[in-house]
Copies of this chain bind each other. A is one copy, B any other.
Amino acid sequence: MPAPSKSSATPPPASRHQRRREKTRARLIDAARALVAERGVDAVGLSDITEAADLGVGTFYNYFQSRDEIVEAVAEESIESLGARMDLMTVDMPDAAEVFSSSLRHLVRHAISDPLWGWFVVRLGVAHPKLIDILGPRAARDLRKGVDSGRFTISDVEIATACVFGALLSTLHHVVSAPTQDGTDEVFAQAMLCMVGVVPDEARVVASRPLPPLPEVSTPQ
């Protein structure tokens, strides 16, 4: 049995080290996010990231093994946490159409309030596996829920998921590029509801229901 550490009552030195590590990691993550948002993922090299973060390449390798790995980490942190909050918001919603609509509306609003996030997602693009990994299963789950409850009429969930995903990215591109975007979230949700087989009048009603705020989710630091 190991002896209890003498410093167990006060923050151990490891913790300060840990905080510094997190700070450095966050600098790399922030730099990568901004660069990808600006230039597109394929144009950002490892050295661009270290230069923007004002850190050495050796330091980079203490945190990530490659350019792709840090981009995946940015995607994970930028989108997974939003996905988790949407899951929590919709978990008790009885209507599958509202689940689908509310999540899509929040994604559009998030890009309007945080254009850097919007550009990052847009620049990752429809072919980026990480984006598909995070958003794809959620969209497919929500679509299946709608089909199972008789709310949606879809002949192929996989194609419908791809369509929602692509339409979302293109709409995010639209909102981060154009000057005013009031109501785009509703218009987009309405289009997606129609796409999955909700009749237009009903789609308009569902898409304009009051949008509940996204709950905060405590993430382990």
Contacts and interface: CB of A to CB of B under 8 A. Distances in A.
A38 to B, nearest CB: 11
Contacts of A42: 39-43
A219 B41 CA distance: 36
B173 A159 contact: no
A194 to B, nearest CB: 5
A220 to B, nearest CB: 33
A118 to B, nearest CB: 11
A156 interface: yes
Interface string A163-199: 1111111110110000000001001101110111101
Contacts of A190: 155
Contacts of A169: 126, 166, 170
Nearest to A160: B191
Provide the main secondary structure of the chain A interface.
Answer: helix
A127 interface: yes
Contact of A155 (B123, B174, B196, B204): B204
A205 B200 CA distance: 18
A83 interface: no
Interface in A11-38: none
Contact of A162 (B123, B127, B170, B199): B170
A163 B153 CA distance: 19
A97 interface: no
Contact of A166 (B166, B187, B194): B166
Contacts of A166: 126, 165-171, 173
Interface of A: 39-43, 122-123, 125-127, 153-156, 158-160, 162-171, 173-174, 184, 187-188, 190-192, 194-197, 199-200, 204
